[in-house]
Amino acid sequence: MQVSRRQFFKLCGGSMAGTTIAALGFTPGVAMADVRSYKLLRASETRNTCPYCSVGCGILMYSLGDGAKNAKSDIIHIEGDADHPVNRGALCPKGAGLLDFVHSPNRLKYPEVREAGSTEFKRISWDEAYSRIARHIKTDRDANFVEKNADGVTVNRWLSTGFLAASASSNETGWLTQKFVRSLGMLAVDNQARV
Amino acid sequence: MTNHWVDIKNADLIVVMGGNAAEAHPVGFRWALEAKTRNKAKILVIDPRFTRTASVADYYAPIRTGTDIAFLSGVIRYLLEKGAYNKEYTLAYTNAALLVNPDFAFDEGLFSGWDAETKKYDKASWSYQLDEQGFAKRDDTLADPRCVLNLMREHVARYTPDVVENICGTPKDAFLKVCEYIASTGAHDKTTSFLYALGWTQHSIGSQNIRTMAMIQLLLGNMGMAGGGVNALRGHSNIQGLTDVGLLSQSLPGYLRLPSEKETTLETFLEATTPKALADGQMNYWQNTPKFHVSLMKSFWGDNATAENSWGFDWLPKWDQGYDVLRYFDMMNQGKVNGYFCQGFNPVASFPNKNKVVASLSKLKFLVIMDPLVTDTSTFWKNHGEQNDVDSASIKTEVFRLPTTCFAEEEGAIVNSGRWLQWHWKGADAPGEALTDVEIIAGIFTHVRVLYAKEGGAYAEPIQKLSWAYRDAHDPKAEELAKELNGKALADIPDPKKPGEFLAKKGEQLPGFAALQADGSTASACWIFAGSWTQAGNQMGRRDNSDPSGLGNTLGWAWAWPANRRILYNRASNKPDGTPWDAKRTLIKWNGEKWAGIDIPDFKADEPPGSKMSPFIMQAEGLGRLFALDKMAEGPFPEHYEPFESPIGTNPLHPKVVNNPAARIFKGDAEQLGTKADFPYAATTYRLTEHFHYWTKNVLLNAIAQPEQFVEIGEGLAKEKGIAHGDTVKVSSKRGYIKAKAVVTKRIRTLKVNGQDVHHVGIPIHWGYEGVAKKGFLANTLTPFVGDANTQTPEFKSFLVNVEKA
């Protein structure tokens, strides 16, 4: 039987009967002093860093789901990390909204393509996306790769395709991107540091 | 930052100029308030707007946008005139006493070596006088007129308080008040910390804005000191890290550079990139460039890189020029580009002259977007009414939009402004079919590699030879990549100081960059990250926040590059004889055998005090440079040049050279510059506390906090134009227009400049045609397509507009 705290007090009428009712097991869902269970108690805590500015505030993300194979985790709360030497638990108005970033209705969920001249995106599979992009790369690179410049010097560059890298992505992503672009011969490579 | 966020609390004076930390970096700025509360520090703000940073400052001085060099040169003049600088530091640790080439000169806005025909500088005279050993000559008496200090004094002599007032619009008494504050920290036991951001970089003279401040910091003896430093508050959470791993046109990781087509062999390339010492007894740390480069090549190509093939030298592309984004979008606009990738980047919103950017993207064959969110770039082909008036049917670009994880759904390290590499962990799965950027790059790359293996094609060698030794080729793990960045021993690396012992055994993670070798026996993808993932594990995930000294150097928290050092140049916190300039700021001390202390010494550990070695170990002469040699595009000393769109239309110092002569502007873009006759008001773009760039227009809470686009104008301009608070106004430049609500405010005042009134228009940037916030116009519809002469960072902070009631 679920009895709310308010119902419980009403039931007891402030009389001695209360103790008896409690003894019979008709207690509120949680301890009397509490309205409901503290929701973060059953959440997993994960340490992360705010992705916005360069202060690098530590954050704690709380998610439901116990990590079991079929349990889908879901982040329900984000707050500043009190142990972090820079932010000491604080977040600014930008960082305070991080949960709404994670759950933004404008998160992208599926690979899509907008065909030439079209007015809309259509969903495609990852395999189709990779295959078509790889074909574009190869076609353009094969047609425009420059092995030697006008003086006959080996230059091995590909100038007709460029790449903007993400300055909120990790160093590890950055390194793999660096390998990718240079092995293809790209020089039109920049990140937000340019602007 | 040469220092770090917490260290700001050690300052006696905090100058915020070219930035607005209270709104753009709110939590970091708390350390400035901590300095004020605990250290009785003063905060100065110099800005065209009375910002929220100004609202908590001890003193605020207004300034016209784009005139910081004139202001700061006036400060240098004041410091020299009053003798209010650290003379001992300046003599010992800067190039003040070094003698400059007799041919170096400056006249009427141009430095020596200018060729009026090619509009280029020959920088040969921007150099030192050398002795027979090739070392720079010096005169420690400073009597020689060719000493850097004397030439600098002569150069800044023109920037009197009256000239500063005339150019900057800062009232003379306000300028002098700022000078007094700054001069008060020339004492050995006082420091100034300068906090700046895009308000300094986004100008055609951006690099020199920062350099002028750096010269002040050298004069005051603030480099290497707790509570001092040059502190760039960077714009994105890992813009530091992406720069560190070299994702710029001509860069490679660790501030190495890509070879140019003039460097036809590994030997000529290393010769050009490995500096020779310019003074006796210097560390000249870049002399190790071959070790860094060869180790990087071993990371790129693995066993395929050998001494015989010059470590894969031919597999790297060689540049003829930099392909920065302004150049590249200009090429795109000319139809010379077919494909483009935007990984977490929204160029339609982030680049100048939005209409040109959209026209350029419309000429591509294919565009690949990788992003966790809907971006304006991903739907540039869609008609969004006045905000993006395009004809979809005529745009033939194929656009692939690939969903990525966001920060919460992936692991890895990002580098904050204080150079701290902080590891983060995954907290949830991504929505739908979103993948990490790493998986997507790996997916595309493996498909390309298979195509080349099957079909052959243009120079497939580097694609086939690229090292890809990941357990799952389609999904390299962050741990694997982080270990590559640190580097490992490919053979046993003997310890040169201890015969029979090893710095690292074959296969082990390297302990640091001192173990790197130029013979192919080590691999390291980013030498400055060596030490971040050692045999002891992931140093970036460390969580010991103890601060034994109280100065905020938490050496056990995360890991800072280089070598976990928290304050760069910290040898300079001591006098040449080894005693600290200020005992309460002692960072390192000589213990009779080596340097040690609360920071990792930025010096040769066993080099005793009093030796010839100077503290700026990355410089060939070991000294901080008041005279920049040939390292800057527009001159060895900073000079005031007007923005490309100037509200006064002239340069009062030299009317024949109005703008930065070394800056590059393409023909079509020069034609799209406005003049003060049509566009009379000085405009500047900026960020708000509640938003982050163009991301948070997708974030409900932030969209609620600042839902609608607005511009700020002062009461004077509002009165002139009959605009009331809350009116809708049309703001136009030569390149386009936006419409927004007018916020009429006392925070922007009319300035008197060169005999005329100058009004500023403030334009927050956060709206666009995509998002959950109210739709708006992209602010960069207005901005000019011209950049800094060194970096090509666009001039978003100073341009001309007109304002009308809509």
Check whether A29 has a pLDDT greater than 90: no
B129 touches B100 (CB < 8 A): yes
| ipTM surpasses cut 0.95 | yes
Residues of A in contact with B432 (CB under 8 A): 107-110
Check whether A37 has a pLDDT greater than 80: no
Q: Which residue of A has its CA nearest to B431?
A: A109
Mark yes or no for CB contact B243/A193 under 8 Å: yes
- Percentage of residues of chain B with pLDDT beyond 90: 100
Within B321-371, where are the H helices? Answer: 325-333, 347-350, 354-361
- pLDDT at position A65 is 82
Chain A interface includes B549 (CB < 8 A): no
Q: Which domain holds residue B170?
A: 1-236+566-639
B625 and B729 in a single domain? The answer is no
The DSSP line for B180-218 is: HHHHGGGSTT--EEEEE-HHHHSSTTHHHHHHHHHHHHH
**How close does chain B come to A161, measured CA to CA in Å?**
4
Q: How far, in whole angstroms, is CA B445 from its chain's centroid?
A: 30
Residues of A in contact with B459 (CB under 8 A): 145, 147, 156, 185
**How close does chain B come to A17, measured CA to CA in Å?**
47
Q: Which residue of B has its CA nearest to A72?
A: B429
Q: Which residue of A has its CA nearest to B203?
A: A195
B239 touches A167 (CB < 8 A): yes
Which of B639, B659, B685 is the last residue before a domain boundary?
B639
HSE (side-chain half, CA atoms, 13 Å) at B689: 15
The closest alpha carbon to B167, from B761, B644, B752, B799, belongs to B752
- Residue B426, in any domain of the structure: no
pLDDT in tens, B402-426: 999 999 999 999 999 999 999 999 9
Phi-psi region of B550 (alpha: psi -120 to 50; beta: other; left: phi over 0): left
- Which candidate from A134, A171, A189 shows the least CB-CB separation from B444? A134
Chain A interface includes B702 (CB < 8 A): yes
**How close does chain B come to A81, measured CA to CA in Å?**
11
- pLDDT at position B388 is 98
For residue A138, the SS3 value is helix
B580 and B702 in a single domain? The answer is no
Mark yes or no for CB contact A83/B545 under 8 Å: yes
Query: Which residue has tokens 């300028």?
Result: B175
Residues of B in contact with A68 (CB under 8 A): none
Q: Which residue of B has its CA nearest to A158?
A: B317
For B379-391, b where at least 16 C-beta lie within 10 A, e where not — what string?
Answer: bbbbebeebbebe
Helices (H) and strands (E) in chain A, counts: 5, 9
B588 touches B609 (CB < 8 A): no
- Residue B276, in any domain of the structure: no
For residue B60, the SS3 value is strand
B683 and B786 in a single domain? The answer is yes
Q: What is the CA radius of gyration of chain B?
A: 27
- Residue B554, in any domain of the structure: no
**How close does chain B come to A159, measured CA to CA in Å?**
7
How many structural domains is chain B composed of? 2
**How close does chain B come to A69, measured CA to CA in Å?**
12
Q: Residue B116: which CATH number? A: 3.40.228.10
Instruction: Name the phi and psi angles at B138, rounded to 5.
Output: -140, 155
B325 touches B332 (CB < 8 A): no
pLDDT in tens, B16-49: 999 999 999 999 999 999 999 999 999 999 999 9
Q: How far, in whole angstroms, is CA B103 from its chain's centroid?
A: 32
Mark yes or no for CB contact A166/B344 under 8 Å: yes
Structure tokens at B91: 């003599």
Query: Which residue has tokens 């304006």?
Result: B376
Mark yes or no for CB contact A126/B373 under 8 Å: no
B685 and B608 in a single domain? The answer is no
Amino acid letter at B460? A
Cα separation, B335 vs B359, whole angstroms = 10
Domains and CATH numbers, chain A: 1-37 (no CATH), 39-102 (3.30.200.210), 112-194 (no CATH)
DSSP-derived secondary structure letter, B331:
H
Mark yes or no for CB contact A54/B552 under 8 Å: no
- Which candidate from B374, B381, B397 shows the least CB-CB separation from A106? B374
Q: Where are the beta strands (DSSP E) in B349-506?
A: 366-371, 398-403, 412-415, 420-424, 488-489, 493-494, 502-504
- Residue B71, in any domain of the structure: yes
pLDDT in tens, B345-401: 999 999 999 999 999 999 999 999 999 999 999 999 999 999 999 999 999 999 999
- pLDDT at position B232 is 95
Residues of B in contact with A82 (CB under 8 A): none
Q: What is the mean pLDDT of residues B652-676?
A: 98
B608 and B681 in a single domain? The answer is no
DSSP-derived secondary structure letter, B775:
P
Q: Residue B779: which CATH number? A: 2.40.40.20
Q: How confident is the model at residue A27 (pLDDT cuts 50, 70, 90)?
A: low
- Residue B616, in any domain of the structure: yes
Residues of B in contact with A160 (CB under 8 A): 336-339
- Which candidate from A100, A132, A179 shows the least CB-CB separation from B699? A100
B589 and B698 in a single domain? The answer is no
Cα separation, B429 vs B362, whole angstroms = 35
Instruction: Name the phi and psi angles at B153, rounded to 5.
Output: -60, -40
Which residues 6+ apart lie within 8 Å of A13 measured at CB? none
